[in-house]
Structure 1
Amino acid sequence: MQIQIIAAPDPGLVAAATRRRLRTPVLVARCAGWALLAVTVLVQVATGLLQPGLLAGGVVLAVLVPVVLLNRTARRSLRHGRLTTYEISDGGVARSSEAGRHAYAWRAFRSVEALSGQLMFGLRGGRWVRVPTTGLSPAQVEQVLGTAFAQGLRVHR
């Protein structure tokens, strides 16, 4: 199998990949913020005093931290908006642009997830390689997912 894709970063795809990639940290921040807001309400009910520090901390964790985290990560991905060539073969996945080339053997990945318009290859350590499926047929996407599965990766459709 040898598939080559040439694409520029798509803001919509980058945003979707960023939301998927940061799903856990954003959820943790939101839950911690809502818990802090609940504590603020309980303190006010019990003592009759509003604790502005708890209220502000809850709002920051529940709203501000997730927004900043998602926006900063997506902007960083789009900042280098270079035309990139992606190659998927029996040996693994490679991406190259005018800035450099990075190649990964299949054993470097732990999973692949099919999102709308892209494949997210999960590396060890929580990093991801995002590959747009622009111009690929559904059969070619299935071929890539089948190859990944045959190489021992967890495949999420």
Structure 2
Amino acid sequence: MVHGLLSPYIDKIFSLVPQINITEYINKHLSMLKPLIYAENQDNINESTMNDINNFIHPLNITRKKTIFFYTGVADEQFKETKLFSEKIVNYGVSSTLIINVEKKKHSPMVMDNVEFIENLLKNILSNKRTKDKNLFELEPKTFLYLGK
């Protein structure tokens, strides 16, 4: 997601159940990999910097018009953070669409149980088409609820 926002060659980004608070996720799920992720004795790359994705996103660094689509769910552990980030990124001139899965499923089941829907989303994003699905409802402009299958 960060690469897509900062690259001058990318204009469409699809973020599948993103981890906004990176350090929180690593500490909870990948603690054994911390030595590989965080360089020791480097003040510019440390846990506090990595914890906030906003440390990497600055409006002046976004040089091309961007559109980002977030797919997340109400039961995902970083749902609130994703929602707040999707609202904040608009202030940087990025068009942000939030697709919220309302099933009470955690991260992996929310993805794996809805692969067909996600693939359809991706195809439509790439071809600039609006996704139509009997279980997808527009809550407000750029915010959609997906009921799952």
TM-score range, shorter chain: under 0.3
Of Structure 1 and Structure 2, the greater strand share is in 1
Which has more radius of gyration? 1
The two structures have a TM-score, normalised by structure 2, of 0.26
TM-score calculated relative to the size of structure 1? 0.25
